[in-house]
A and B are shown apart, each in its own frame.
Chain A
Amino acid sequence: MIGPTVTRPWFWAFAAAAVTFAATVALTGSQGGVELLMATLTFASFSVLVGLGQMAVITMGPGNVDLSIPAVMTLAGTLSLKLMNGAAGMEIWGLLAALAIGVAAGAGNYALIFLLRIPPIIATLSASFVFQSLAIWSNRGLRIKPPDSLAGFSTGASLGLPNLAWIALVAAMAFWLLIERSAYGRRLSAIGQNLRAARLAGIPVEGVRAGTYVLSAAMAALAGFLLSCFSGGAALNMGAEYLLMSIAVVVIGGSSIAGGNSNVPGIWGAAMFMFLIVSMLNSYGLGAGVRLVLTGVIIIGIVTAASGRRLPG
């Protein structure tokens, strides 16, 4: 018999992250271990933030995915830095602006889906061109630095953990509460299992869907805001890698791509794994091509192992 822990869908994501971590530390030596852990927690935080939003969207079942995450990150980062213009005392306004941009972008996504009846995959993709163009138009090649306080905060640590990791941790706990304990989470899961039955059980389907797309975009905007503070300014391609990342952490984390079943702890495990796998292959000195191939193969392996454990017995 295998213990109940092994059968949890998030187990494999954490196991993979631990193995990759050990394999990397074996090469770099133990004094590199703490540094690697800090870097992992920091970079995983961005993936966690966007992954949580994407997870809520994917839980609604086949066809639901938010492809506008990179563009929303870029737009929120660019515009909020422009508003703050590096000045002290503007931090809270910058954050609120970023979140407002996220809410507006999410509402825009959902409006396309609902009013024009476009499939979410197309709606969010085409909306992302609009968001990206807005970012390019407002940026015009300027590189504005974030206020010093925010730059310091986003690269700093408290109580032994990076500040960003604290934020992502709190966000994950809030999502856990939302998904596992709230009426919203129940309704989200019902929609993902059987949309028609959910509506006939009196679930306000459109309200839940609208809220979920707004939530996803708001999380992307928060991640974009923090990332541009962390890296000393917004760049037009800063969100690019988070498109596939947001989907990968959901799948590797043990959420069901078929909908109805989401898994918050797994997002953290998968986000750390996704950073560690790249640093492991880097530290073994492999070329970019080999690295990508191996990354792909390992991800397939993890997903297979995790899904194999979840087959109904």
Chain B
Amino acid sequence: MDMRAVPGASGPIVELTGAGRSFGAVRALSEVNLSIGAGECVSLVGHNGAGKSTLVNLITGALGPSDGAVRRIGGDARSSGIRSVAQELSLAPNLTVAENLRIPQRDLRGLFWRGRAGLRIRTALDEVFPGHGIDAAATVADLTLAERQMVEIAMAFAEGEVPARLVILDEPTSSLDASRAEQLIAYVRRFRAAGGAVVFISHILGEVFAVATRIVVMRDGQIVEDRPNGSFTRAGLVEAMGHVARAATARTMLGPSGAPEIVATPEGLRARAGEILGLAGLAGHGQAEALARLYLSRTSNWRGRGPVPAAFVAGDRARDGVMPLWSIARNLSVAGLSHLTRAGLVDRRAEAGLAQGWRERIGIRTDDVANPILSLSGGNQQKVLFARALATGAPLVVMDDPMRGVDIGTKSDVYDMIRAEAAQGRTFLWYSTETEEMTLCDRVYVFRNGRIAAELGREQITEERILAASFEMGEGEA
């Protein structure tokens, strides 16, 4: 594979030598040697908390190294053309798409800067995501999560004072459906061919193999493998990350046909006790709204006592899930608080025990559940939200794209956990942008334009069927 499409005449864009970073006593990163040149796509893989985000922060200069050195081609990140798209979406919701571009691009000033900003972002969106349908004058708050992610990615590639040389994409497809993810991967290839470089962080190994020229595996704050793509097998890569490779386990249990129906909504969602029900389709076609409506109709706005009828797992952590001022334990216990309350007061011993138990069961990487929730990496915060829902004992669990930023090891643990809970009679409603997750379901509803377009039974759930139902037949939109 041609790893240096453009000869590195001016040397690497960024080079880390013996770089390390500590936070107090915690060593997040140590002895990292990494150099990225033009025309490369380096994929960073590793489980949650392996140090990927810290490494990115060293490259962008958001954090300085505690040891070693970081050298960039143009001094600081901005003048080196190093740009990054964070995992936690960071657009200002009250501004328009075009106005948001002004935040990183400080040369947008003077009269009519909005017009120029609009032109730049429109061009970039058209390049990366043809047919995106996003208005540059739209307020970000009105966009769906997928659209916001597309805007952020396009911003990183947009024309600017210093052209983009190295773009860091941290979980860029976490909210994108399969067709948008493919557009992005195709664009990364074109960008690379034109001499750009990309750092691509993803837990979705299919994407990694499709896009990378080099794969860098991180474990416990160190680089353990750095080899060209093509010299890894899927199982080998998973093993290098520190997970036990296992074959995809087929669901043994068939849908419980005799069980009572516990969900029946006017729009046609039906679920029996113990079923795992998938909601598929392109992102933003009404799945999240249908789940929210169902959840809100099942839970009370007025009474907080007694058993919890339904639980919700948020995918958009900052907007729908995390209580930023609280500890891990408090975040974990909040949904099932009624079980921990004696005479109106919270039993704090029982709460700590619950949090400890879940920390071990789901593998939340912290030494103390009394630590603030924001001290966790994104994937670990997501585990807390999972534990929050499962700990309620609710018979119905509603999941709104819950695996965003969760590593592959945890994913398979959570899949097993969901199966085991379903076997006990709990019902799961699961919206995901990843088709692979849909194959774990008993039945799948495919959404299009806010309505159910198709229902697929156990044997019919394949990527092709889901995609076919996502696009209207004969309309030629696909």
In Å, the complex CA distance between A161 and B296 comes to 51
B231 within 8 A of A: no
Across the interface, do A200 and B314 meet the contact criterion of CB distance under 8 Å?
Answer: yes
Mostly, the B contact residues are: mixed
Q: How many A-B residue pairs lie within 8 Å, measured between CB atoms?
A: 87
Q: Is B341 an interface residue (CB 8 A)?
A: yes
* In contact, B308 and A206 (Cβ under 8 angstroms): no
Shortest CB-to-CB span from B122 to chain A, Å, is: 31
Contact of A205 among B292, B301, B321, B392 (CB under 8 A): B301
Which of these, B295, B340, B346, contacts A200 with CB under 8 Å?
A: B295
**A199: CB under 8 A from chain B?**
yes
Residues in A with CB closer than 8 Å to B311 are: 202
Tell whether A204 pairs with B346 under 8 Å between CB atoms, given A190-B323, A197-B320, A197-B321: no
Contact (A203, B295) CB under 8 Å given A193-B323, A260-B325:
no
Asked if residues B319 and A196 are in contact (CB atoms below 8 Å), the reply is: yes
Interface residues of A in 282-298 (CB under 8 A from B): none
Q: Which residues of B contact A193 (CB under 8 A)?
A: 323-326
Given the interface pairs A183-B346, A186-B337, the reply to whether A202 lies near B299 with Cβ below 8 Å is yes
Known: A183-B337, A186-B346, A260-B325. A200 touches B302 (CB 8 A): no
Q: Which residues of B contact A182 (CB under 8 A)?
A: 341, 344-346
Query: Given the complex of chains A and B, what is the CA–CA distance between A260 and B325 in angstroms?
Result: 8
A190-B334, A194-B322 known; A202-B302 Cβ under 8 A: no
Considering the chains assembled together, what is the distance between the CA atoms of A201 and B292 in angstroms? 12
Expressed in whole angstroms, the Cα–Cα distance for A210 and B325 within the complex equals: 23
Select B301's contact among A181, A196, A201, A206, beta carbons within 8 Å: A206
Nearest-CB residue, chain B, relative to A200: B312
Write the B295-337 contact mask toward A (1 if CB under 8 angstroms, else 0): 1100111111000101110100001111111100010001101
Contact with B along A207-241 (1 / 0, CB 8 A): 11010000000000000000000000000000000
CA gap between A183 and B344 in the complex, in Å: 6
CA distance A187 to B335 in the complex (A): 10
Cβ of B338 under 8 Å from chain A:
yes
Is the C-beta of A184 less than 8 angstroms from some C-beta in chain B?
A: yes
CA distance A261 to B337 in the complex (A): 19
Contact indicator A202/B296 (Cβ below 8 Å): no
* Any B CB within 8 A of the CB of A124: no
Q: Contacts A182-B345, A187-B304, A207-B302 hold; do A201 and B334 have CB atoms under 8 A apart?
A: yes
Query: Across the interface, which residues of A come within 8 angstroms of B299, CB to CB?
Result: 202
- Return the contact of A207 from the options B303, B308, B323 (Cβ within 8 A): B303
> Is A177's CB under 8 angstroms from B314's CB?
no
CB distance from B63 to the nearest CB of A (A): 15
Chain A contacts with B in 139-197, Cβ cutoff 8 A = 177, 181-184, 186-187, 189-190, 193-194, 196-197
Q: How far is the CB of B299 from chain A (nearest CB, A)?
A: 5
Distance in angstroms from A113 CB to nearest chain B CB is 14
Given contacts A200-B314, A200-B320, A206-B301, list 10 more A-B pairs with CB under 8 A. A182-B344, A182-B345, A183-B304, A183-B338, A183-B344, A190-B326, A194-B319, A200-B292, A201-B334, A201-B335
14 sampled A-B residue pairs with Cβ under 8 A: A183-B340, A184-B344, A186-B330, A189-B325, A189-B326, A190-B334, A194-B322, A196-B319, A199-B296, A202-B299, A202-B308, A203-B304, A204-B303, A260-B325
Q: Which 6 A-B pairs have the closest CB atoms?
A: A204-B304, A207-B302, A206-B301, A183-B341, A201-B335, A200-B312
